[in-house]
Chains A and B, each alone.
Chain A
Amino acid sequence: SQQGEEDPQALSIQEGENATMNCSYKTSINNLQWYRQNSGRGLVHLILIRSNEREKHSGRLRVTLDTSKKSSSLLITASRAADTASYFCAGTTRDAGGTSYGKLTFGQGTILTVHP
């Protein structure tokens, strides 16, 4: 089963607007990561946020984490056409007893289209 579920599945905006993508997960996590994938390419790591962090910034990216709601959001400010890609959240998998299998489990992704 997928650890993360992104919302929305697709997002279409104009250049200069902000883009917000959300991720919900089912079980406890140690950290949560966001990746970007251009069509037909490999994934590129964007940012990692640990379970004891609430917010993290990297350039035009802002990630928040709410462990009580088991959710995270990725905000891209002042979007550019080059930001057009799929964005995935990924978290570690843990069982009910808290044992981590040390594997990343990916959501289905949000397809972001930024129109020039």
Chain B
Amino acid sequence: DGGITQSPKYLFRKEGQNVTLSCEQNLNHDAMYWYRQDPGQGLRLIYYSQIVNDFQKGDIAEGYSVSREKKESFPLTVTSAQKNPTAFYLCASSIAWREGLMDEQFFGPGTRLTVL
């Protein structure tokens, strides 16, 4: 059963704590992405990775960190430096990174993070 999984579905964090969101895909995709969605808003890109051991900042990377040690996994850490972390976080992947030509992205079910 191929797809993207994110865990946990709901996450609660106290202020000042770091927390890591999991994203795993078994689609053999090279490219992976993290987005943040706030209520009534579209998606904003946090980080993206074109290939293993490489990642780039998106539009709102401050207060977040990622790693891409394995092709299947792209975890996102929300650090205490992120001023307003409560949001819905979506992970996505696409077949390959082709400059200037974006392929369809496949999304995970999302993680809803609430800071208490």
Q: Shortest distance in angstroms between A56's beta carbon and chain B's nearest beta carbon?
A: 13
A18 CB to nearest chain B CB (Å): 24
Would A88 and B58 count as touching, CB distance under 8 A? no
B80 close to A (CB within 8 Å): no
Interface residues of B in 21-64 (CB under 8 A from A): 33, 35, 40-45, 48, 58
With A45-B105, A102-B97, A102-B99 already in contact, the answer to whether A108 and B45 are too (CB < 8 A) is no
Among B48, B92, B101, B112, contact of A31 (Cβ-Cβ < 8 Å): B101
Closest to A4 in B: B42
Which segment, of A36-44, A58-66, A67-75, A77-85, faces chain B?
Answer: A36-44
Q: Is the CB of A42 within 8 A of B108?
A: yes
Hey, which chain B residues are within 8 Å of A4, CB to CB?
42
Q: Which residues of A contact B98 (CB under 8 A)?
A: 102
Are A104 and B105 in contact (CB-based, < 8 A)?
yes
Q: Closest residue to A43 on the B side, CB-wise?
A: B107
Do B110 and A88 touch across chains, with their CB atoms under 8 A apart?
Answer: no
CB neighbours (8 Å) of A103 from chain B are 45, 48, 58, 102
B41 closest partner in A (C-beta): A108
A2 is an interface residue with CB less than 8 A from chain B: yes
Across the interface, which residues of B come within 8 angstroms of A104, CB to CB? 33, 45, 102, 105
Beyond A40-B112, A41-B110, A106-B42: 19 further Cβ-contacts under 8 Å? Answer: A2-B42, A33-B104, A42-B92, A43-B90, A43-B105, A45-B106, A88-B42, A92-B100, A92-B101, A92-B102, A100-B99, A102-B97, A102-B101, A103-B48, A103-B58, A106-B35, A106-B44, A107-B42, A109-B41
Could you list 19 examples of A-B contacts with CB < 8 Å?
Answer: A30-B102, A31-B102, A33-B102, A42-B107, A43-B43, A43-B90, A43-B105, A45-B104, A45-B105, A45-B106, A48-B104, A88-B43, A90-B43, A102-B98, A102-B101, A103-B45, A103-B58, A103-B102, A108-B40
